[in-house]
Amino acid sequence: MSVIYILWLRQMKRYFRSRARIIGALGQPLLYLFALGFGFGAVFERAGEGNYLQFLVPGIIAMSILFTSMFNGLEIIWDRQFGFLKETLVAPVSRVQIMLGRTLGGATVAVFQGMIILAISFLIGFRLANPLAMPAALVFMFLIATLFTALGTAIASLLDDMQGFQLIMNFLVMPLFFLSGALFPLKDLPVAVSVIVRLNPLSYGVDGLRGALIGLFQLGIWANFAVLAASSLILVMIGAYLFSKIQV
């Protein structure tokens, strides 16, 4: 447990030492929040769906967590190229513990990034449906972060090239985000799109987060929690296995 804590703490220090990283990670989510939230608000309201900003904010928080979580895998490739990973792996501890420490650290960083987006959202008019449901929102945020940090770690464990990792991430991240219901309601979708959305684990994270923050569940709270928890466990196990096979 001490190894997991040390690696978690290391991730925290890395994050808070880099102001550019904190600010840079806010750019795209804020662009979507302001451009879409205010740009399509009137259209969404005329369609009878209510306040679009309220609907959009949970999706943008999930987006911020997704991007931050997945790109944590870059640190593994960076550490491998510059020899830092080798120093960690030769320590007399289990590689599974090392992976868990890095995953929990990356997930915590991603949740913190999501909390920043939530705080900014309050400043532009977003309101919670029930403040007592905030702990449930944090649970969904952490599950999203754990799931996609583990996925990023699993992919990074198979690669040793930063450019290749970024290409794969772009190929995965944008479809995961756009087909998660973050930007649109899940009702009355074409059958093909509806099937894809329900196969996307991020859809359950977005829906769970939206339900906790504004009281709107479209897939069901327990279905959201069960799918996210099961997916997180499976990806952590896969990530731990692949990380244990890294050659340095």
Q: Does pLDDT of 9 surpass 90?
A: no
Task: Report the pLDDT value the prediction gives residue 242, as an integer from 0 to 100.
Answer: 84
Q: Which of left, alpha, beta for 114 (phi over 0: left; psi -120 to 50: alpha)?
A: alpha
Q: Which amino acid is at 157?
A: S
Q: Does pLDDT of 18 surpass 80?
A: no
Residues in Cβ contact with 46 at an 8 Å cutoff, skipping those fewer than 6 apart = none
Q: In the structure, what pLDDT confidence band is assigned to residue 92 with cuts at 50, 70 and 90?
A: low
Give the mean pLDDT of 18-44. 75
Q: Which helix (H) or strand (E) holds 204?
A: helix 201-214
Alpha helices in 47-94 (DSSP H): 52-70, 73-81, 84-89
Task: Report the pLDDT value the prediction gives residue 124, as an integer from 0 to 100.
Answer: 86
**Greatest mean pLDDT range, 23-32, 69-78, 154-163, 187-196:** 187-196
Q: Does pLDDT of 229 surpass 80?
A: yes
Digit-coded pLDDT (tens) for 93-115:
677 777 888 888 888 888 988 99
Please state the domain extents for the chain: 2-244
Euclidean distance between CA atoms 109 and 125, whole angstroms: 25
Whether residue 180 contacts residue 218, with contact meaning beta carbons closer than 8 Å, is answered with no
Task: Report the pLDDT value the prediction gives residue 129, as an integer from 0 to 100.
Answer: 84
Q: Does pLDDT of 211 surpass 60?
A: yes
DSSP string, 112-145: HHHHHHHHHHHHTT---S-GGGHHHHHHHHHHHH
Residue 224 class from Cβ within 10 Å (0-12 exposed, 13-18 middle, 19+ buried)? Answer: buried
Euclidean distance between CA atoms 133 and 7, whole angstroms: 31
Whether residue 137 contacts residue 209, with contact meaning beta carbons closer than 8 Å, is answered with yes
Give the mean pLDDT of 43-68. 84
Q: In the structure, what pLDDT confidence band is assigned to residue 14 with cuts at 50, 70 and 90?
A: low
- 46-50, 60-64, 132-136: which has the minimum mean pLDDT? 46-50
Picking from 65, 75, 66, 63, the residue whose alpha carbon sits closest to that of residue 113 is 65
Please give the structure tokens belonging to residue 58: 């949970």
Digit-coded pLDDT (tens) for 146-188:
999 999 888 888 877 777 777 777 788 888 989 888 888 888 7
Task: Report the pLDDT value the prediction gives residue 137, as an integer from 0 to 100.
Answer: 92
Euclidean distance between CA atoms 232 and 93, whole angstroms: 23
Task: Report the pLDDT value the prediction gives residue 20, as an integer from 0 to 100.
Answer: 58
Task: Report the pLDDT value the prediction gives residue 5, as an integer from 0 to 100.
Answer: 64
- 25-34, 67-76, 91-100, 208-217: which has the minimum mean pLDDT? 91-100
Task: Report the pLDDT value the prediction gives residue 3, as an integer from 0 to 100.
Answer: 61
Backbone dihedral angles phi then psi of residue 161, each to the nearest 5 degrees: -125, 125
Residue 160 class from Cβ within 10 Å (0-12 exposed, 13-18 middle, 19+ buried)? Answer: middle
Task: Report the pLDDT value the prediction gives residue 146, as an integer from 0 to 100.
Answer: 92
Euclidean distance between CA atoms 39 and 32, whole angstroms: 10
Mean pLDDT (the chain) is: 82
Whether residue 145 contacts residue 110, with contact meaning beta carbons closer than 8 Å, is answered with yes
Q: In the structure, what pLDDT confidence band is assigned to residue 21 with cuts at 50, 70 and 90?
A: low
Give the whole-number percent of the chain exceeding pLDDT 90.
Answer: 21
Please give the structure tokens belonging to residue 240: 């731990």
